[in-house]
Amino acid sequence: MNLSRRNFIKTVSAVTAGTTILPNIAIASIMKPIKSKKLKLTFRTYELQLKHTFTVAEYSRDTTPVVLTELEYDGIIGYGEASMPPYLGESHKSVTSFLSKVNLSQFNDPFRIDDILTYVDSVDKKNRAAKASVDIALHDLIGKIVNQPLYKLWGLNPDKTPVTSFTIGIDKPDVVRTKTKEAKGFKVLKVKLGRGNDKEMINAVRDITNVPLYVDVNQGWKNKENALDMIHWLKEKGVIFIEQPLPKENIDDMAWLTQNSPLPTMADEAFQRLSDVAKFKGVYSGINIKLMKSTGLREAHKMITVAKALEMKVMMGCMTETSCAVSAAAQLSPLVDWADLDGNLLISNDVYEGVKVIDGKITLNNLPGIGIRKL
């Protein structure tokens, strides 16, 4: 009696435990016709149209080139994206040329994420956005195979996603006021500075709203003492942190500024990958992680862990991207202090529907993988 009851419990437990992941794979294998038991990567170029001309300290532009990837395994398709704003040095040509060299057909198990992405990283030294486009597609694929959103696989609480800022580019005061009005509903704005009209920009925003502000200088300030004066003024105006105030090469000036600044300083252009994080401890208060710099989600996740261990602040940012890369980054967002994930909201020709901004907050959905579907 006891024995059979124990066996019964054991059987029920095994079935219950098993239903979490394995049967989904088994069911997927039974239901779907077997297409290819190897990983198959395809890609196409695409041009994002920006709703407004985007002006930062260094340049203006109306479009952003991207490459959209698809990674297929056994009839299931994961989506990925590379976005190439000009200052990163990648282009349609460099990304497609890199992806043509990537041979994923040598892998027949998509769950070997480390093996696969270590191989992709070894194909060439640079090409960070191109690598991200494979990383994102692979993570999306894995999530779809086990039929779970990535944030769940990582054990994250979707209620802990941050609010996201909406970016106001450098412009004349009346345009800034119009853009600020359009950003109604966002709980925080990110204002681009560094072209000599900083106070005019902030005052124009403050004509319209009192929400907290992030400031991104994009290396536009050249003198550390002037930078410190401006940061004191910005603090009085309700600014939360200052991103990349000085040129990325000015490490000593930057360390001095961070030491004296009444607001946290965040590294963006200065750093790219995991190996850069530790060396900026003491130089900046924190880091702005973007998937197009970090080569994707695998390394971004590690960067967050390292930065937190070093007691540095963490921000999750993006380029102008479709909802693909933005939704991928959003899966990690419950872990970060601040988020600037508005890249998909700045374009007029998105090709996916993904995570949403609701009442200013990044809102994850229950779709598997990175949480997107094709429009």
81: contact with Mg ion by CB under 5 A? no
In the bound state with Mg ion, the residue whose beta carbon lies nearer, of 67 and 242, is 242
Q: Nearest approach, Cβ of 30 to Mg ion (angstroms)?
A: 47
Q: List beta partners, residue 82.
A: 67
In the bound state with Mg ion, the residue whose beta carbon lies nearer, of 98 and 241, is 241
Contact code string over 271-290 relative to Mg ion, x by CB under 5 A: --------------------
Q: Nearest approach, Cβ of 248 to Mg ion (angstroms)?
A: 11
In the bound state with Mg ion, the residue whose beta carbon lies nearer, of 117 and 266, is 266
Task: Give the integer Cα–Cα distance in Å for 147 and 136.
Answer: 16
In the bound state with Mg ion, the residue whose beta carbon lies nearer, of 129 and 156, is 129
In the bound state with Mg ion, the residue whose beta carbon lies nearer, of 72 and 243, is 243
Q: Give the total of residues touching Mg ion (CB under 5 A).
A: 3
Tell me which long-range contacts 108-111 makes (C-beta under 8 A, separation of at least 24).
Answer: 108/37, 108/38, 108/39, 110/39, 110/71, 110/73, 110/138, 110/141, 110/142, 110/145, 111/142
Q: Nearest approach, Cβ of 244 to Mg ion (angstroms)?
A: 5
List C-alpha distances in Å: 314 to 99, 135, 183, 285, 362.
30, 21, 24, 9, 16
In the bound state with Mg ion, the residue whose beta carbon lies nearer, of 74 and 243, is 243
Q: Which residue has the tokens 């696969």?
A: 116
Near Mg ion in 209-268, by CB under 5 A? 216, 243, 268
In the bound state with Mg ion, the residue whose beta carbon lies nearer, of 117 and 176, is 176
Q: Nearest approach, Cβ of 57 to Mg ion (angstroms)?
A: 10
Tokens of 33: 């016709």
Q: Nearest approach, Cβ of 122 to Mg ion (angstroms)?
A: 29
Near Mg ion in 308-367, by CB under 5 A? none
The answer to whether 368 and 148 have CB atoms below 8 angstroms apart is: yes
Q: Nearest approach, Cβ of 345 to Mg ion (angstroms)?
A: 16
Q: Nearest approach, Cβ of 286 to Mg ion (angstroms)?
A: 12
Residues in contact with Mg ion by the rule CB under 5 A? 216, 243, 268
